[in-house]
Amino acid sequence: MRYLPLAVAVAVAGVACHEPTLPPNHTPAYAFDYFGDVFHWPQDRLSVRFFADTRGAMRTYVQRGVNLWEQQFLYGEFRGVLVPDSTHADVIVVWADSVPPDVPPDEGAPIKACVGTTTPEFDVSGVALAGPIHTSLAVLMSSATPAQLAACMRRTVLHELGHALGLFQEASDSLLIMNFTPWVNAPADGDRRTVEVLYHTPPTIAPPPR
Amino acid sequence: MKGVGQPGRWRVGLVCLGWLFLSARPPDRLSAQASLSASLGARYSSTLVHDSIVSPFDVRLGISPAFTLAAALPLAAPWTADVTLDVSYGAVARHDQSGTVAPITHVTILTLGVALRRDLRHGFSASAGAGLLAYLPAERIGIFRDGGGPVVPMGTAALGYSPPLAVRRGLALEARYDLHGFLTPALRTEGFVNSTVVHRVALAVRYRLWKGSPP
C-alpha cells in the first residue's frame, strides 16, 4: 500500500517516455501556382460560399464536391458552404448550356462525356481577384448515356472545385482528381498532400472583395 | 470498419460505467463511510499534434473548464480510494508560428479513473491513479473526421489542500495532473505512427456534496 503511488508514478512516467510522434509525408504531387503566383482562400474568408445552378443535379454535385474537399484537410484550413443566392457567393458553378438529366451516375468505366471550365478574374492590380470564381460545365459527348454523363459531371465538378480552391494546375497522374481529364471519383492521396501544402503556402493573390 | 465501431462501444461503456458508479446505492456499511464531492476548475492541455507543412504548427486545446465528480471510500488510515468521473470541454485549434489561429472543432473529453489518496499533514493530501479517457468531438471534421479514436489509458496524480477554515465547509483546492496518448484515426491515415503524449494540468475547487455518517 505504501509504495503503490510510487508504482503508479513510475508506470505513468514509462508511458510518457515512449517514442515521439513522427511527422508524415507532406510532399505535394503536382504544382499549384498560377504563373508563379499562389492563391488560396484565407482563414478570414472561411467558410467559402458556393452557389450551384439550381437546375438538374448541380447542387448535389457541388455539395458532394465541397464535402470531399473539406475532408482532405486535417487542421481547419478550409470550409465551404452552399448558398442560395449567387450575389453572395465566392464561387459560382453553372451549366454552360444544356442541363443533363438528374439520374444516378454510372459506376462503370469512365468516359470523357463533359468538360468544365474555371476562370479566375483578376482586378487591374493583377494580384487580387476581381469577383467570384466562375465555373461552368458543358456536355461534350451527346452520345453518352445520361448515367455516363452524370458520372462525368460529378467527377468534373469535383475537379473544377479543386481549381476554385486554388489548385490552378493540372496533374499528370491519371489517378488524381486534378488530372487534366478527371477519371477518378474522389481526391487521392496526392491531391490531399498538394492541397494541404497549398493552404500552408503564403498566398500572393488576394481573394475578391466581399 | 471494425476499428470504427469499437471506440464507439467503448465510449458508451465508459459513460454507462460512470453513471453506474454515480447512481449506484452503496451497501449501508460503505455508504456510512463514503463521501461524494464535485470540483470545478480550469484545465490546460499540452499540444495534441505537432506537424510541419511548409512551416511548423501545433494543434492545441485551449484552456477549458473541467468538472469532476468523485466518490471517496476511506481505507485503512490515512488512505482513501477515489473513483472519479471527469468532463472537460474545449475548442481545438491550429496555432501557426505566424500567430494565426484556425479553429477546427470543439471536443468533450471524458475520463473515468480510480486513485489512491493519502492524507498528509497541514491539510494536504496527495493521490495517484489510473483510468480511461475518450475524446468526443462535436463534429467529424479535420483530425476528428473519422472520430475521436479509441478509449485510451491515462495516468493521474493530484495534490489537494484544505485550509482549516474550509474543512468544515467541505471545500478544498486541488491541482490535478494527468497524461495520455493522443492519436485519431484521421491522423493515422495521414501517416502519423505514434501517439502524442498529452499532459493536462487542472486547478479546481472541490466541494463535498455528501458524506455518510459514521456507523
pLDDT value, residue A19: 47
Give the mutation candidate from B61, B190, B196, B200 for the A interface (greatest A CB count, under 10 A): B190
Task: Point out the residue among A22, A25, A43 whose CB comes nearest to the CB of B102.
Answer: A43
- What is the rounded distance in angstroms from the CA atom of residue B197 to the CA atom of residue B180? 6
Q: Exposure pattern of B10-36 as b/e (b: 16+ CB <10 Å)? A: ebeebeeebeeeeeeeeeeeeeebbbb
How many contacts (CB atoms, under 8 Å) link A and B? Answer: 104
Q: What are the residue boundaries of the structural domains of chain B, listed by start? A: 2-210
**What's the average model confidence in pLDDT over A55-84?**
96
Are the beta carbons of B178 and B156 closer than 8 angstroms?
yes
pLDDT at A199 over 80: yes
Are the beta carbons of A44 and A11 closer than 8 angstroms?
no
List the domains of chain A with CATH numbers. 26-198 (3.40.390.10)
**What's the average model confidence in pLDDT over A84-98?**
96
Instruction: Give the whole-number percent of chain A exceeding pLDDT 90.
Output: 85
Report CB contact under 8 Å: A201, B195: no
User: What DSSP state is assigned to residue A13?
Assistant: H
Q: Which residues pair with B176 in a beta bridge?
A: B158, B202
- What is the rounded distance in angstroms from the CA atom of residue B111 to the CA atom of residue B158? 15
- What is the rounded distance in angstroms from the CA atom of residue B133 to the CA atom of residue B87? 10
Cis peptide leading into B78, omega within 30 of 0? yes
Closest-CA distance, A69 to chain B, in angstroms, reads: 11
Enumerate residue ranges in chain B where pLDDT < 70. 1-32, 213-215
Report CB contact under 8 Å: A11, B195: no
More confident residue, A198 or B21: A198
Are the beta carbons of A160 and A171 closer than 8 angstroms?
no
DSSP annotation string for A38-75: -----GGGPSEEEEE-SSTTHHHHHHHHHHHHHTT-SS
pLDDT digits (tens, 9 = 90+) for A135-169: 999 999 878 999 999 999 999 999 999 999 999 99
- Tell me the average pLDDT of chain A: 91
pLDDT value, residue B5: 38
pLDDT value, residue B62: 87
**What's the average model confidence in pLDDT over A114-128?**
94
Cell of B204: 479546481
pLDDT value, residue B7: 47
pLDDT digits (tens, 9 = 90+) for A16-31: 545 445 568 899 999 9
Report CB contact under 8 Å: A23, B76: no
- What is the rounded distance in angstroms from the CA atom of residue A46 to the CA atom of residue A40? 11
Q: Exposure pattern of A73-95 as b/e (b: 16+ CB <10 Å)? A: bbbbbbbbeebeebeebbbbbbb
- Tell me the average pLDDT of chain B: 86
Instruction: Give the whole-number percent of chain A exceeding pLDDT 70.
Output: 89
- What is the rounded distance in angstroms from the CA atom of residue A58 to the CA atom of residue A66? 12
Cis peptide leading into A47, omega within 30 of 0? yes
DSSP annotation string for B105-144: EEEEEEEEEEEEEEE-GGGEEEEEEEEEEEEEESSS-GGG
Report CB contact under 8 Å: A5, B196: no
Closest-CA distance, A28 to chain B, in angstroms, reads: 10
- By the 10 Å C-beta count (0-12 exposed, 13-18 middle, 19+ buried), A171 is classed as buried
- What is the rounded distance in angstroms from the CA atom of residue A39 to the CA atom of residue B166? 60
Report the candidate in B9, B5, B8, B11 with the shortest Cα–Cα distance to residue B111: B11
Kindly report the backbone phi and psi dihedral angles of residue A60, in degrees, each rounded to the nearest multiple of 5, phi listed first: -65, -45
pLDDT at A3 over 80: no
Alpha carbon distances (Å) from B215 to A9, B33, B167: 35, 8, 21
- What is the rounded distance in angstroms from the CA atom of residue B125 to the CA atom of residue B79? 10
Domain B2-210 has CATH 2.40.160.20: yes
Closest-CA distance, B46 to chain A, in angstroms, reads: 13
User: Residue A180: how many CA atoms within 13 Å on its side-chain side?
Assistant: 1
Residues 6 or more apart in contact with residue A90 via CB below 8 angstroms: A41, A45, A48, A49, A50, A132, A133, A207, A208
More confident residue, B146 or A15: B146
Task: Point out the residue among A9, A76, A197 whose CB comes nearest to the CB of B128.
Answer: A9
Alpha carbon distances (Å) from B56 to A44, A72, A202, B91, B99: 20, 19, 13, 20, 12
Are the beta carbons of B83 and B106 closer than 8 angstroms?
no
pTM: 0.82
Are the beta carbons of B86 and B66 closer than 8 angstroms?
yes
Report CB contact under 8 Å: B94, A4: no
Residues 6 or more apart in contact with residue A109 via CB below 8 angstroms: none
pLDDT value, residue B2: 32
Kindly report the backbone phi and psi dihedral angles of residue A196, in degrees, each rounded to the nearest multiple of 5, phi listed first: -60, -50
Sign of the C-alpha dihedral, residues A71, B53, A78, A39? Answer: negative
- What is the rounded distance in angstroms from the CA atom of residue B53 to the CA atom of residue A205? 20
Q: How far is CA B57 from the centre of its chain?
A: 25
